[in-house]
Amino acid sequence: MEVDAPTAQETSDTHLQTRNHHHHDSAQRQQLQQISPSDYHSEASMNFDYLQDLRAGAMASTSTAGSGGGGNGGNSSYGLVDDSRALDRFVTILDNLDARVEKLRKDALNLQEKKDYLLMSMDLIKSNEMMQNMSEAEREEIILYIQRVSSRLGTVELNVRTVRDNSQEDSLSQINALIDNMIKMGDPVIGRQRCQLYLNACCSSSMDPSGHMDTVPEADAGPIDKKFESVLLGCTLDDQKNIKKRLQALMGYLNKQTVSH
C-alpha cells in the first residue's frame, strides 16, 4: 500500500506551527514569571494568609512537641519554647494589622476630606454671582444639575469617628455654621477677608511643650476673628487641623476669584 509522504510545504508548516506553539508557551511562562505573587492575592485573601501562618506555626509546634522525647521534662521544655514563639508570632501579626488599620483610617480621612471639598465646591457654585445674571430657566437648570450631583455624592458614606464630648460636638457645629455662612455671602472680596480672619485664628493656635493648645501673639498671626478663635479652641486637635485645611483650600479659591475681579 502506498502512503503519500508529506510535502515539503506541509512539513515546513508543521514545524512552523510547533515553533509558534512553543514560542507562545515560552512567552506565557515568561509573563507568569514577571507577575509577582501579590498579584494573585486580593487584599482580603492576604488577611487570611496571616491565619494560615498561625496554623502552620501551630502544626510545627505540635510536631516538635510530639518528637521531643519520652520524658515529661523534655515535653515541658518544648512547650515553654513553643508558647514563646506563638506569642511572638501573634504580636508580630497584630502589629502588622494595627499598622494597616491606621493606614485605612488615614485613607478614609483623606476621602472624607475630598468629599467635603466637593460639597464646598457645589456650595460655591450656588452662591456664585454669575448665577444672578442667568435667566430663571438657566438658573433652574443649573440648580437641578447640582442637586443630581449632590445626590450621587450622598451615596458615598464615609465615617471615621473622632471621639468628642458634647462641648466639642457643639463647637464643631458652630465652626461649620460660620464657614457655611461665609461661603454663602456671594461676595468674593468680603468672603476672602472673612476667610483670612478665620485662617489667622487657626494659625494663631500652637502646641505648648505640655501638649496643650495655646495662642501666639496676635501680631504674629495677623488680625483674627475672636469669636471664631474662641469656638475653634473648643474643638478637638484633629478637628482643628481639618478646619485649617478646609480654610486653606477655600482661601486659594477665593484668592483666584478676587484676582479675576
Cα distance between residue 118 and residue 204, in whole Å? 27
We report the CATH number of the domain holding residue 218 as: 1.20.58.890
Residue 19 domain flag: no
For each of the chain's 261 residues, which pLDDT tens digit applies?
443 444 444 444 544 454 454 444 444 444 444 444 444 455 555 666 666 666 665 565 555 555 554 445 444 444 444 566 788 888 888 998 999 999 999 899 889 889 988 988 888 888 888 888 899 999 999 999 999 999 999 999 888 888 899 999 999 999 999 999 988 887 778 888 999 999 999 987 554 434 344 444 444 568 899 999 999 999 999 899 999 999 998 888 888 776 555
The pLDDT assigned to 261 comes to: 52
The pLDDT assigned to 147 comes to: 94
Beta bridge mates, 215: 205
Query: What domain count does the chain have?
Result: 1
The pLDDT assigned to 4 comes to: 46
**Continuous segment of H or E residues that includes residue 215:** strand 213-215
Residue 175 domain flag: yes
Beta bridge mates, 206: 214
The pLDDT assigned to 226 comes to: 93
Cα distance between residue 126 and residue 142, in whole Å? 9
The pLDDT assigned to 256 comes to: 76
Q: Which domain holds residue 196?
A: 166-260
Residue 174 domain flag: yes
- Residue in the block written with cell 483610617: 105
Residue 237 domain flag: yes
The pLDDT assigned to 45 comes to: 59
Contact 225, 199 (CB under 8 A): no
Residue 79 domain flag: no
The pLDDT assigned to 124 comes to: 85
Scored b (16 or more CB within 10 A) or e, 21-45 reads: eeeeeeeeeeeeeeeeeeeeeeeee
The pLDDT assigned to 116 comes to: 87
Neighbour count for residue 195 (Cβ, 10 Å): 24
Residue 250 domain flag: yes
Residue 232 domain flag: yes
The pLDDT assigned to 234 comes to: 95
Contact 156, 115 (CB under 8 A): yes
The pLDDT assigned to 62 comes to: 56
Report the predicted TM-score, pTM, of the whole model to 2 decimal places. 0.55
Residue 36 domain flag: no
- DSSP letter (8 states) at residue 41: S
